[in-house]
Copies of this chain bind each other. A is one copy, B any other.
Amino acid sequence: MSLRYALLALLTSRPMTGYDVSKQFSQSVAHVWHAPDSQIYPELNRMERDGLLESTVVPWGKKGTKKEYAVTEAGIAAFREWMDAPIEIRRQREPAYLKAAYLEWAEPGAARAELEQFRDHWTEHLTMLEATRATLVDRSHPTLARRLEHYDANQWDRIVRYKIFAYDGLIDQARAAVAWAERGLVLVDELEGSTVD
């Protein structure tokens, strides 16, 4: 159910088409809540049906049209309500840690390969998070820039710092994951013996 609020969060910066949303998503909210467009389009429809969004049809080229969604008053209210409600605690679902606990069943080579894959994935993710964090710090992040336009300049610092705070948390998690995988590689080498050719 958080997808709805992730979309509201994004759309509070400016009105967007479904396509914009699905593109913007990957550069901001997706770091925190991934969704494919096959989920985004139907959800936007449902949100309009529920009165959280309203759409205007905009011409596009000669014959084409596109639908731009804007958050309604009811949408703002729903978002505020969600913000003030207790957070849903996520269930633990971590296949990587599950596997790690049973690494004695893996081939030594496979164990190493998986830890490397895990480390590389998180390293890449970390790089992206740090890059995005930097665009928040210097306020060059496009969605953030559009968002700040609605606010008085004396509010900017407050808004930006919450976003940086969120990214800091994600960066911490990513760094912890990378460090853990690296310790895992050392452990595998120690326990399985180094079989490097």
Given A165-B184, A168-B180, are A9 and B95 also a contact pair (CB < 8 Å)? no
Q: Is B162 touching A98 in the complex (CB atoms < 8 A)? A: no
CA distance A30 to B166 in the complex (A): 27
Q: Is A139's CB within 8 Å of the partner chain B?
A: no
Q: Does A5 contact B (CB under 8 A)?
A: yes
**A166 lies within 8 A of B100 (CB):** yes
Copies of this protein in the complex: 2
Q: Are B83 and A90 in contact (CB under 8 A)?
A: no
- Interchain CB contact under 8 A, B162 and A117: no
Q: What bracket does the count of chain A residues touching chain B fall in?
A: 35 or more
Interface check A176, CB cutoff 8 A: yes
Q: Are A93 and B90 in contact (CB under 8 A)?
A: yes
Query: Given A172-B180, A173-B176, A180-B172, does the pair A83, B101 have CB atoms closer than 8 Å?
Result: no
4 other A-B residue contacts (CB within 8 Å) besides A83-B99, A103-B162, A176-B176 = A32-B92, A79-B105, A83-B105, A101-B162
